[in-house]
Every structure is written in C-alpha cells, then in structure tokens.
Amino acid sequence: MRQKVIFQDLGLTDYFDIWQYQTEIHQKLKEEKKIINNPNPSHTLIFCEHHAVFTLGRSGSQENLIVSPEYLAENNIQFYKINRGGDITYHGPGQIVGYPIFDLDLFFNDVHKYVRLLEESVIQTLEHYNITGYREPGYTGVWINRGNEKRKICAIGVHLSRWISLHGFAFNINTNLDHFNFIIPCGIKDEGKSVTSLEKELGAKQNMDEVKHILVNKMSSIFEFDML
C-alpha cells in the first residue's frame, strides 16, 4: 500500500529549530507505532534552507573543521554536533536540505536501500538538467565526474531509531561554495574530489522552487508515496 507523506517547504530556517521539529515528529511517529493498523501515520518530508551552519556527524572528527570558534562567531556561522551518520558538512542559503521523517517499517526495512533511494532521487533530478550524477564507490551522496575531478553535489547523512528516519540530505543548488573551504567536507581529503552546485555546473543561478518541485516528485515516485 502506498504511504501518504506530509510535505512541508519551510523556507529559510534556523538549524536548531528544525532539529527540534524533526525530533517532535519522530516522537509522534514512535507513539503512533503503538496504534494497531494506524491508518494515518505522520510520515513527513521537510524541505528547507538553513542559515550558515556546520554540522558534525557522530562518526566525524572535529579536526575537519579548519577554522576557529572565534572565526565562526565573527562570521555568524553556527556549529552543531549531531546524531546523524557521516562527518562534517555545511548547510546554507541556496541549498535544498531534505529531512524525510518516515516510519520505514511501513516502507521497507533496509537502511542501505533507503540511502540508495535518496541518492536516486537526486540523480534523476539532475537528469532533468542533462547532468549525469552517480554514486562514488565507498562514499554516500551524489557525485558528478567532470574530467579528472569528481565533484560532490549532494551529501547524505541519516539516523534511524526504531526504523524511523531522521536527518537526510543537502543538495547544492545556488550554494555559496566558499564556505566548504572552512572544512574538509565529509572528511574526504582526496585531492581529486571537491564540492559543486547546480549553479556552478550550469553556469547560472537556478530557480529553487523549480528544483524542489522536480525533486519532491522524483521522491514520491521512487519511494512510492502520495503527498498530502
């Protein structure tokens, strides 16, 4: 049976506020698990942008943040250690951050499949713009291969508790890529790898609403859910 998902585009938001909001929805889905044959689970897909912030996953190293706390404060950039997988990444305006809070017991019980389908949603969105995205062996996220340089356009870091998902993905659209110079993105030190955005690949700023529309419909098709 196709699940129904509440879709919310919350625009430019504070990272901590959304982190708390995700937790509230996550707890609600946990409570709903106690209801036998619950017809309306509160699966929620949030799209938003964040004010400039670096987040460090539970398996990451703070050494991959290469500026001081004083620099962050002076430049109004936040920093949080959080409970998702992965290392350090950047969120900021011009980036689609997606938080699927799904009870995967009602979709499928396979965390690797879950991450692969998130990647596939972005890969198919890139196809709309005639860009070939791919999965780089040994890494999560979506990459673009241009010449001898492999560029990451979407980072993914998730957390599951009782098969309910938290956190998600960050898809660079019109993102200020200079901020990635302050970190070792995702802890990847390979000189042949860098970070990119849709704007950089296409040579012009993109319509965020258009990309969101394409992406959410790709997700609906790939995960086989209906949007509310």
The model carries a pTM of 0.94
Q: Which residues contact 129 (CB under 8 A, 6 or more apart)?
A: 198, 201, 202
Catalytic residue, candidates 65, 123, 126, 186: 186
* Residue range 179-222, pLDDT digits in tens: 888 877 655 565 667 899 999 999 999 999 999 999 999 999 99
Q: Quick check: 179 and 155 in contact, CB under 8 A?
A: no
* Residue range 125-173, pLDDT digits in tens: 999 999 999 999 988 999 999 777 899 999 999 999 999 999 999 999 9
* Residue range 145-154, pLDDT digits in tens: 977 789 999 9
CATH of domain 42-162+169-227: 3.30.930.10
Which value, in Å, is the radius of gyration of the alpha carbons in the chain? 17
Q: Quick check: 219 and 156 in contact, CB under 8 A?
A: no
Helices (H), the chain: 15-32, 69-74, 111-128, 198-202, 208-223
| Known catalytic residue at 186 | yes
